[in-house]
């Protein structure tokens, strides 16, 4: 909104005072600060409202250790606060003419709507089952297809043409060495990335602050990846021609050997909004939590991170960035497969954070160690920018 205002007024006297709005770096930082401020200011009111509307209702899953029963009465659906802060930060500071911004918002709020239905059913029916898994998957697929064929396609004579790069980017390998084009198969592959990430974050949301901190770390990582791959900043490089050394400008993404990301700077603004909203929510969600994010938050944030992985051309690298989330969903898959085939459990309880709880590890220690693991994973992913 601020950027569009600058575009409208840039040739006039007022436009000179809005000149700062054209710089992505300013808008990225401002979006993060604004989302953080919105979340901190709105948080007490939203939590009080949730506590009043959910008074006397059980918000703790049945498939959790007994120690979690003491958390009964803590309001859920705090993810609404996260979504509101993300929306405000993005709408104010992103370039709303960018197609990828609307894709990111559609996927985030579409998956948030699915989470809202799940939370509402849990509260209204007073059980922890909520929306059936097959309906969740169907709705996730629906929103994904709307984003692909509604926003990321151009239709010519009734035939869709994808506007996204269908080539696969492999971590630590320069794009000019290996960049296989999946064609339309990329749509199915991207679906696995987006839906899988959303459900993985949902499974991770089981301890106070466990899911939100790795989300913040991942969003910071994607902000860096989107910015360096999507801006037109050039660096000096030396080219020897005819025995003479010359300085030439090389786009940053070419120098690093990574894929170009259209609208990368605007995606970085969106990432910053997630970071600010996440930090403000962590203020209230840190152990012992005053509010849970609920599925409205975890499904939405997972959808946002999965969408960023696709739009930033970090589909495979997201497996590293989302290492904590990947470990959580794999632990569930391993547990289910082992029990169905052998009748034995690999873990005391899945997801794996419950396994550590039942082994006697204190909840705060599990949370902080998972945070550290997420920082390590993102650090490794960022190393891939230079080690190509």
pLDDT attached to residue 7? 65
pLDDT attached to residue 249? 63
Is 105 contained in some domain?
yes
Q: Which residues, in sequence order, are bridge partners of residue 249?
A: 236
pLDDT digits (tens, 9 = 90+) for 13-43: 655 667 777 888 999 999 999 999 999 999 9
User: Residue 157 is part of which domain span?
Assistant: 17-317+363-383
pLDDT attached to residue 39? 97
Is 75 contained in some domain?
yes
Is 328 contained in some domain?
no
Is 338 contained in some domain?
no
Is 332 contained in some domain?
no
How many domains does one find in the chain?
1
pLDDT attached to residue 129? 77
pLDDT less than 50: residues of the chain: 56
pLDDT digits (tens, 9 = 90+) for 216-272: 999 999 999 999 988 766 565 555 556 555 655 667 777 777 888 889 999 999 999
pLDDT attached to residue 174? 75
Is 354 contained in some domain?
no
Instruction: Kindly report the pTM of this predicted structure.
Output: 0.91
Is 352 contained in some domain?
no
Is 358 contained in some domain?
no
> Can you tell me the distance from the alpha carbon of 281 to that of 297, in angstroms, rounded to the nearest whole number?
10
pLDDT attached to residue 195? 97
């Amino acid at each position: 909104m601020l950027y569009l205002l600058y575009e409208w007024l840039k040739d006039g006297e007022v436009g000179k005072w809005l000149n700062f709005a054209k710089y992505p770096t300013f808008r990225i930082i401002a979006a993060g600060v604004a989302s953080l401020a919105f979340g901190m200011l709105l948080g007490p009111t939203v939590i009080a409202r949730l506590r009043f509307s959910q008074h006397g209702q059980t918000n703790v899953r049945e498939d959790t250790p007994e120690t979690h029963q003491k958390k009964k009465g803590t309001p859920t659906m705090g993810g609404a606060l996260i979504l509101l802060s993300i929306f405000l930060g993005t709408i104010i500071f992103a370039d709303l003419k960018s197609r990828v911004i609307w894709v990111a918002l559609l996927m985030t709020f579409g998956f948030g709507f699915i989470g809202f239905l799940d939370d509402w059913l849990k509260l209204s029916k007073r059980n922890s089952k909520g929306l059936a898994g097959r309906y969740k998957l169907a709705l996730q697929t629906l929103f994904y297809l709307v984003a692909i064929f509604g926003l990321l396609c151009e239709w010519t004579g009734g035939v869709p043409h994808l506007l996204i790069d269908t080539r696969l980017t492999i971590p630590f390998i320069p794009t000019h060495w290996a960049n296989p084009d999946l064609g339309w198969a990329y749509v199915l592959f991207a679906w696995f990335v987006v839906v899988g990430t959303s459900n993985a974050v949902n499974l991770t949301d089981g301890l106070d602050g466990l899911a939100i901190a790795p989300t913040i770390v991942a969003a910071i990582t994607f902000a860096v990846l989107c910015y360096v791959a999507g801006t037109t900043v050039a660096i000096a490089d030396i080219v020897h021609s005819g025995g003479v050394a010359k300085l030439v400008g090389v786009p940053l993404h070419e120098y690093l050997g990574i894929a170009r990301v259209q609208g990368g700077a605007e995606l970085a603004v969106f990432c910053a909004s997630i970071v600010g909203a996440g930090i403000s929510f962590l203020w209230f969600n840190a152990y012992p939590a005053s509010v849970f994010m609920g599925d409205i938050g975890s499904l939405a944030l997972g959808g946002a991170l999965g969408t960023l992985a696709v739009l930033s051309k970090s589909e495979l690298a997201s497996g590293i960035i989302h290492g904590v989330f990947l470990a959580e969903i794999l632990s569930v898959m391993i547990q289910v497969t082992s029990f169905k085939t052998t009748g034995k459990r690999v873990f005391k309880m899945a997801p794996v954070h419950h396994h550590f709880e039942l082994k006697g590890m204190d909840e705060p220690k599990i949370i902080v160690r998972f945070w550290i693991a997420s920082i390590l994973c993102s650090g490794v992913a960022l190393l891939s920018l230079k080690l190509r």
